[in-house]
Amino acid sequence: MDTRTYEVVTYGCQMNEHDSERLAGLLEGAGYVRAADDAQADVVVFNTCAVRENADNRLYGNLGHLLPVKKAHPGMQIAVGGCLAQKDRGTITAKAPWVDVVFGTHNIGSLPALLDRARHNAEAQVEILEALETFPSTLPTRRESPYAGWVSISVGCNNTCTFCIVPSLRGRERNRRAGDILAEVRALVDDGVLEVTLLGQNVNSYGSDLGDRGAFAALLRACGAVEGLERVRFTSPHPKDFTDDVIAAMAETPNVMPHLHMPLQSGSDAVLRRMQRSYRQERFLGIVSRVRDAIPDAAITTDVIVGFPGETEADFAETLRVVREARFASAFTFQYSPRPGTPAATMDGQVPKAVVQERYERLVALQEEVSWAENRAQVGRRVELLVATGEGRKDAGTGRLSGRARDNRLVHFAGSPQVRPGDVVETVVTYAAPHHLLAEGPLLAHRRTRAGDAFETPRAAGVPLGMPGVGVPAG
């Protein structure tokens, strides 16, 4: 039989991106090869998100576009996984009967077997498990980046935010053993990785099922002892679980980056209560203040939801006040949209769409102003950049390259033929825009890395970045 090709299409958060790398690793382990950019894949996998209002429309629209493609390519298969698959279950094949496989968030490891079974039985296979069998990080992987890797330290969530459907789809929080996490980190570093991001739906509650509130800070410090690991990031922490020992670990561990992404969601205590976010404005701003005291150059970023049910103009004014005071480097801003199955979807006081839009525009304008001012303060600073692949070239005409500073700011800089994604350079910021910085002068330093060497490996020849999974089954 000819070698079958695949494509994985990812929607949603970093957890989904991490899962997609595992899906690609599983498929390649089963003999599939990644489809060329200009070729139609034999297997198309959608790894879905259920958080945003248009998630359903986006999926079914793409599935509709693929129907004539599938008719023109006998033997082509379509698989749908992730949070939307966990939520919708059998309705996906009812709405799109040309889908071959539906699998949930708890059984991504079943994908190759489900594809084989669907092909053999000539009928759709739907498998949705209710509980996690294996941590995603124990599965094979095909990493997209030669220099960065995701490491899942926990899965699931014990919070009950009224706007969020994720806990019901990913289940209760389950933590990995620290030894398994560190073994995976060391294996990634041995593979040339310079940066790891520790992942969890509520990453800083790590250790909660072990009764150890200091476990996350200890894990950050342990990552500091991994030789060759240059950058450690984590996402996303919850303010209710943010303790001073974590701030100390960030400040005292050189390879833990001076960047904190901590969701605010709203600056109004009344709205936070309706959201069932178990912190208040004062606590959030207190964490921001203590982080800045310990790490003066830290960049703090956030998420904000506008127009949550019952939000008044006074509530929204409190959000604007917190944004001004916190001085976020950037913010992901969202207009509230009801998600079926969440308590907020049926709450009284749904805010009219026109009001939500107007408030959203005011919030974005304020955050743009703050971001630009915070970025202008970076002009003249010497920055160390990890040269990026995802951002690519800023401008083919100028030959600029892009990289991430230690505080995660995006910097476009004057490149050279010797600089590769995965290398590390140092330069000086010369110009600031709201969403990026420019460094137009000559490089002050350039360090070639094993990650840069890996980028030059001809991946089209079928050599994936990655490693076997490390760890044990959940349970």
**Residue 325 and residue 194 share a domain:** yes
Question: CATH number for the domain including 114?
Answer: 3.40.50.12160
CB 137 within 8 A of CB 176: yes
**Residue 293 and residue 211 share a domain:** yes
**Residue 50 and residue 165 share a domain:** no
Give the pLDDT confidence score for residue 473 in this predicted structure: 34
Q: Which of 376, 400, 428 is the last residue of a domain?
A: 376
Is 464 among the domain residues?
no
Task: Return averaged pLDDT per consecutive 10 residues of the chain, 475 residues in all.
Answer: 85 79 87 89 88 73 92 93 81 90 84 90 84 64 81 87 79 87 94 93 86 91 96 95 96 98 97 96 98 98 97 98 98 90 93 97 98 98 90 61 96 91 96 96 95 69 41 35
Give Cα 373 to chain centroid, integer Å: 26
**Residue 209 and residue 300 share a domain:** yes
The boundaries of the domain holding residue 256 are 136-376
Tokens representing residue 473 in the block: 């089954």
**Residue 184 and residue 118 share a domain:** no
CB 134 within 8 A of CB 109: yes
Q: Which of 110, 132, 154 is the last residue of a domain?
A: 132
CA distance 428 to 445: 11
CA distance 373 to 107: 46
Question: CATH number for the domain including 213?
Answer: 3.80.30.20
Give the pLDDT confidence score for residue 131 in this predicted structure: 63
Closest CA to 90 of 127, 60, 130: 127
Give the pLDDT confidence score for residue 134 in this predicted structure: 62
**Residue 319 and residue 418 share a domain:** no
CA distance 259 to 433: 19
Q: Which of 376, 404, 433 is the last residue of a domain?
A: 376
**Residue 435 and residue 338 share a domain:** no
Q: Is 74 exposed, middle or buried (0-12, 13-18, 19+ CB in 10 A)?
A: exposed
Is 307 among the domain residues?
yes
Beta bridge mates, 437:
411, 432
Sheet holding 43-48, edge to edge: 33-34, 5-10, 43-48, 77-82, 101-103, 125-127
**Residue 387 and residue 372 share a domain:** no
**Residue 140 and residue 127 share a domain:** no
Is 213 among the domain residues?
yes
**Residue 98 and residue 220 share a domain:** no
Sign of CA dihedral 296, 301, 307, 309: negative
Closest CA to 132 of 52, 211, 19: 19
**Residue 194 and residue 141 share a domain:** yes
What does 32-49 look like in DSSP terms, one character per residue?
Answer: -EEPPTTS--SEEEEEE-
Domain count, the chain: 3
CA distance 88 to 91: 6
